Amino acid sequence: MTTKAREPRSRLDPEPIARRDFLGLASLWAAASAMFFATLGMLQLPKTAVLSSPSKKFTVKLPDTLNPGEPFIPPGRAVALYKDASGGVYAVSTICTHLGCVVKQTTEGFECPCHGSRFTSDGEVTKGPAPQALPWLKVTGSGTSVTIDEGTTVESGTKVTI
């Protein structure tokens, strides 16, 4: 086997990288990027594609004796239902916008047992750390049977005639 003599390298030419150095570096970078993307991929696992939470909609019957402006809180639910004088029905969430405790009904409105935020019965913040008003929830239904969707908020002041 004959080989051709290598052309003499000019002093301005860059130092050639040895082939085995190149292969070594390339495999190191390949391993590092494989690890990086594998880690990124694994990080996706704790974030579910479908949430396992129960349905956010529920249906209740409004009591006939409900006075205008008086809240009706269905047992076990964190929602206050109201019926105003003209028959408009609306629902205010009773989950504190500060850190998620269930607020307690008082004569003026609601009070949070955890950090002392206070709200009017329309949900406006009057005191404490809560950053936002209690959200109003979407209400649908007919007659005295109303369906509340805890997953959908509506503009405060939205009342539905049933």
Partner 1 sequence: MSPVAPPRSALQTFWENLLAVPYRLRDTAFRGGTPNTDRTRSTFVFGNVFLHLHSVRTHRWSLRWATTAGLGIASLAAFLITLVTGVLLMFYYKPYPDVAYLSIKDIHFVVPTGRLIRNIHRWAANVMVVTVLLHMARTFFTGAYRKPREFNWLIGMGLLVTTLGLSFTGYLLPWDQLAYWAITIGANIAQSPREITDAVGVTGWFDPGGLNRLLLLGSDTVGPEALIRFYLLHIMILPLMLTALMAVHFWRIRKDGGLARPADADARVETPEGPVYPVFTQLATKTYQLAAIVKGKTSAVGKGPEGTVPSMPHLFYAEMGVLMLTVLACVALALITDAPLKELANPAVPENPAKAPWYFLGLQEMVSFSAFMGGIGIPTIVLIGLGLIPFLDREESGTGEWFGGPGGWPLVKQSMWVGLISSIAIDAFAIRFGWLREWIPHIPQLVITFINPGTVLTLVYALYSVWLVRRYNSTRAGALGLFTCFLCGFIVLTIVGTYFRGPNWVFYWSPADWPKH
SS3 annotation, 56-81: CEEEEECCCCCCCCCCECCCCCCEEE
CA torsion 121-126-130-135 (nearest 10°) is 30
Contact between 14 and partner 1 by CB under 8 A: the answer reads no
Task: State how far the Cα of 147 lies from the Cα of 59, in Å rounded to an integer.
Answer: 4
Task: Determine the size of the site formed for partner 1 (CB under 8 A).
Answer: 30
Stretch that binds partner 1, among 21-29, 84-92, 127-135, 138-146 (CB under 8 A): 127-135
Provide the mask over 82-121, with x wherever binding to partner 1 is found by CB under 8 A and - wherever it is not: ----------------xxxxx-x------xxxxxx-----
Sheet holding 104-105, edge to edge: 104-105, 109-111, 118-120, 125-127
Task: State how far the Cα of 35 lies from the Cα of 115, in Å rounded to an integer.
Answer: 45
Contact between 141 and partner 1 by CB under 8 A: the answer reads no
Closest separation in Å from C-beta 3 to partner 1: 41
Binding residue for partner 1 (CB under 8 A) from 14, 41, 76, 143?
76
Stretch that binds partner 1, among 2-10, 14-22, 24-32, 42-50 (CB under 8 A): 42-50
Contact between 54 and partner 1 by CB under 8 A: the answer reads yes
Stretch that binds partner 1, among 4-12, 60-68, 70-78, 141-149 (CB under 8 A): 70-78
Binding residue for partner 1 (CB under 8 A) from 8, 14, 131, 143?
131
